[in-house]
Structure 1
Amino acid sequence: MTTTQFQVRKDRLDTTRTVQLPEAPVSDGQVRVRIEHFAYTSNNITYGAFGDAMNYWQFFPVVPQADDPAGGDAPWGLIPVWGFGVVMETRCAGVAVGERLYGYWPMATDVVLQPARVSPEGFFDGAPHRAALHPVYNHYQRCAVDPLHDSASEPLQALLRPLFLTAWLIDDFLADNAFFGTCAPGRRGVMLLSSASSKTAYATAAQLAQRPEVEVVGLTSAANVAFCESLGVYSRVLDYDQLDTLAADTPCVYVDFAGNGALRKAIHGRFTALAYSCSIGGTHVDQLAGARDLPGPRPVLFFAPAQAKKRQGDWGAAGFNERMARAWQAFIRQVSQPPAPWLVVQHHSGPEAVQAAHALVLGGRGDPRLGHMLSMSGGA
């Protein structure tokens, strides 16, 4: 039996390969999971773009191949993805064959995990190479008892659940910091969201839109303005060439989902009352740039697990989960109910289809209303 992996060059995300490996043995205390299907969005491109800085490459390290010219230093990696899998082999007490799991996977047909801290709700992967990585990414949820799981809408869950959690925490972080002083009696603070057509951005906008003290301005390409306006969560939508329609002294916060260095420089250069610059991701991977020599506040990278940890301390785990679940259910209703759904799912099976979907998402050429669900199994 073999395992199929979809690997990318860490330094050139447009360079990929499909690798067949012998199945890794399952030792005492481990399980093998068949990865059935997983979401692929600009969020995953961010994982690749920030793979070294944020340790995303460390979750599923690549075994060097004998024919790699660089040997053990070959710069190949596995981009992590969110989706669903089924336990197909177990040597771990408390985890049964056939259990369905939601969690963080490699782009592969299967993976071996080492369950630790097993509970009725799920378990953590206790593999030594993941010990220092954030537990948010190491937890596997048993679908049978997951209050957010619905077998009929697994694609929506895989596509939106991790993005929604990040968005919900961004909204909470901004509110927790009183929108960095941009709001005042008789004046709403402006939240500028780049890459406004991306799922994480519009999920953030959906949360912020419920706060009357702020105005949510979406920034996007001219081609995606109509889509962003159709969602009804942005107060205004501007294309990237329309920044000058906002007054230079507008009290604002920049929430950067694009990572576009030229856009960041333009925003920092124009808005004299920019109170905070929050860096979330890098959907514009060909235009990523550093944050040196910028006027105004220094951009700060947002790390969702840190805000989650703070709020779990403030509210307790049960309180945190209750608030998140309530917001999630409301968001899914919002996404699903309009006559024109926010998201239409496309399925891609087999290595060639996965490669094509990767190229489409990486290039930012996709229809923002489409959501891609991938499987390494199947295909021609």
Structure 2
Amino acid sequence: MAPSWTFAVDREDLTRTTVVDGPVPELGDGAALLRVDRVGMTANNVTYAVLGESFGYWRFFPPEHRGVEPGLGLVPLWGFADVVASTVDGVTVGQRVYGYLPPATHLVVRPDRVDASGFRDASAHRAGLPSPYNAYRLTTGDGAYQADEEDLLVLFRPLFYTSFMLADYLADNDFFGATTLVLSSASSKTAYAAAFELHGRGPRVVGLTSPGNVAYTESLGCYDDVLTYAQVETLTPVPTAYLDLAGAPATRDALREHLGDHLVRDVAVGLTYQIPNAGSAGEFFFAPTQMRKRGEDWGRDELERRFGVAWRRFVDALGGRVEVRVGDGPDALRTAWLDALAGRIPAQVGQVLRL
């Protein structure tokens, strides 16, 4: 294996993958080189690929300069990387950062707004992309960081930020008058993290899941009730908000038929089934939008403080409910990607890759 490699997928056929070897990138002025170390693979990454064109996810890590053939793309991952070279004041070799990373061993960034908490990548191709995805947070300036919890941060932090902002969005709007909140794909990490934040805040929280995941989902303790998708018609017709993390049209249709005007909000949050039917929902929730609002309402430091408090509560409640499986290298990354794409990852399992 060459000193540097990149894992790419076919944008039209996500099951088709390739690994491209190459040299370690060289640095110019105003740049830093990150060595990608530890990343997670979840259904969230599949969503990035499914929405890659419409939401611009393919644009974060252009494949051209990596020797990747046209038509392929780099699926963004979340994880940790180390600074191994830098020509930027304040960004030094040995610093460890958390952020949005390519499925590759190396990433060149152009650090801007460098401070004690980290920096932002000011690379020209990322200028028009959502700001939260361009931030790289130093572990030394991160209130949520603990070295022995890196795997949980890799797996849950981006999902939990979405969940945290989703719950905040609903509360910020008085739950749109709903007295019941229904979450599909209830055993998924994003769903039960959101349910954890929402539970006990007023509305009844109901999870929808497959029959095989009912017992596990109930064991999480964050739902007032857990139903299978076939039991949608047992829901009491009261003002209800549907938070769709599955993207299955049949479930949305069944809820609309059963609840009628009692369905006061229909929000698409994710696409774990890869059916891009967000257009048929009432709206698509995009976490960075609520993050920007709260950044203005509270300030960035207060937003991060509140997130840190919520994160600590969540991790403490999570206990040993997640089985972390760690793989090494491009072959393990490919297997993890195909498993996530096919929905073969058990709800209680979290996939972490060392690159």
Shared fold per TM-score greater than 0.5: yes
Q: Contact 2:119–2:135 at 8 Å: present in 1 too?
A: yes
Note if 1:104 corresponds to 2:100.
yes
Rate the CA distance shift 1:13–1:317 in 2: closer, same or farther, 3 A: same
Counterpart in the other structure of 2:347: 368
1:49 paired residue number: 50
Aligned to 2:292: 309
Is structure 2 residue 174 aligned with structure 1 residue 195?
A: no
1:276 to 260, 265, 272: 265
Residue equivalent to 1:253: 241
Q: Identity of paired residues, percent?
A: 39
1:64 Cα deviation after fit: 7.2
SS of structure 1 residue aligned to 2:314 = helix
* 1:145 matched residue in structure 2: 141
CA distance in 2, matches of 1:80, 1:66: 17
The answer to whether the aligner puts 1:349 opposite 2:328 as a matched pair is yes
Equivalent of 2:221 in 213, 232, 252: 232
> How far apart are the structure 1 equivalents of 2:111 and 2:200?
39
> What are the ranges of 5 or more consecutive residues in structure 1 without an aligned counterpart?
69-73, 183-188, 293-297
Residue in 2 that maps onto 1:126: 122
Following the alignment from structure 1 to structure 2, what is the Cα–Cα distance between the partners of residues 265 and 95?
Answer: 51
Task: Give the Cα separation in 2 of the matches to 1:204 and 1:41.
Answer: 16
Q: Report the 3-state secondary structure (helix = DSSP H, G, I; strand = E; otherwise coil) of the residue aligned with 2:279.
A: coil
| Structure 1, 100-109 or 362-371: larger mean CA deviation | 362-371
**TM-score relative to the length of structure 1:** 0.89
Which has the larger displacement, 367-376 or 14-23? Answer: 14-23
Which segment is superposed worse, 147-156 or 316-325?
316-325
* Cα distance in 2 for residues equivalent to 1:23 and 1:335: 39
* Alpha-carbon distance in 2 for matches of 1:252, 1:19: 48
> Pairwise CA RMSD of aligned residues?
1.6
Q: What is the DSSP-based 3-state SS (H/G/I as helix, E as strand, rest coil) of the residue aligned with 1:291?
A: helix
Q: Is the 8 A contact 1:217 1:238 kept in 2?
A: yes
Deviations 1:231-279 (A, max 9, x none): 01111111111111113x3320010111122222222232111001111
The aligned residue for residue 71 of structure 1 is none
CA deviation profile, 1:155-182 (whole Å, cap 9, x unmatched): 0011111111110111111111111112
Distance 1:102 1:67 in 2: 25
Q: Which residue of 2 aligns with 1:185?
A: none
Per-residue CA distance 1:276-330 (angstroms, 9 max, x = gap): 1111110001x443534xxxxx520101111111112112222222211111111
SS at match of 2:114: coil
Q: Aligned with 2:243: secondary structure?
A: strand
Confirm or deny: 8 A CA contact 1:109 1:375 kept in the other structure: no
Distance in structure 2 (CA, Å) of the matches to 1:216 and 1:203: 12
Counterpart CA distance in 2 for 1:307 and 1:355 is 33
Q: 1:16 offset after TM fit, Å?
A: 1.2
Pairwise CA distance, 1:21: 2.5
**SS state of the match for residue 223, structure 1?**
helix
- Report what 1:218 is aligned to: 207
Query: Structure 2 unaligned runs (5+)?
Result: none
Closer/same/farther in 2, CA of residues 112 and 260 from structure 1, 3 Å limit = same
SS in 2 for 1:36: strand
Structure 1 contact 261–290 (Cα < 8 Å) conserved: no
Distance in 1 (alpha carbons) for counterparts of 2:352 and 2:36: 12
Cross-structure match for 1:26 = 27
User: Cα distance 1:254–1:80, how it changes in 2: closer, same or farther (>3 A)?
Assistant: same
Alignment-mate amino acid for residue 120 of structure 2: F
Amino acid at match of 1:315: W
Distance, in Å, in 2 between the alignment partners of 1:121 and 1:27 is 24
**Structure-2-length-normalised TM-score:** 0.96
**Partners in 2 of 1:66 and 1:126 — Cα distance?**
23
1:322 — aligned with what?
305
Counterpart-to-counterpart distance in 2, 1:359 and 1:226: 26
Equivalent residue letter for 2:88 = C
Residue in structure 2 matched with residue 9 of structure 1 by the alignment: 10
- Provide the C-alpha distance between the structure 1 equivalents of 2:141 and 2:307, rounded to a whole number of angstroms: 16
Separation of aligned partners in 1, 2:253 and 2:11: 26
Shift of 1:67: 8.9
Higher helix share: 2
Contact 1:7 1:78 in 2 (8 A): yes
Segment of structure 1 superposing worse, 29-38 or 261-270:
261-270
Aligned to 2:231: 242
Three-state SS of the structure 1 residue aligned to 2:115 is coil
In the TM superposition, what is the alpha-carbon distance from 1:142 to its structure 2 partner?
1.0
Q: CA deviation at 1:66?
A: 7.4
**Corresponding residue for residue 37 of structure 2:** 36
Aligned-residue offset at 1:65: 8.0
CA contact (8 A) 1:197 1:224 kept: yes
Letter in 2 for 1:302: F
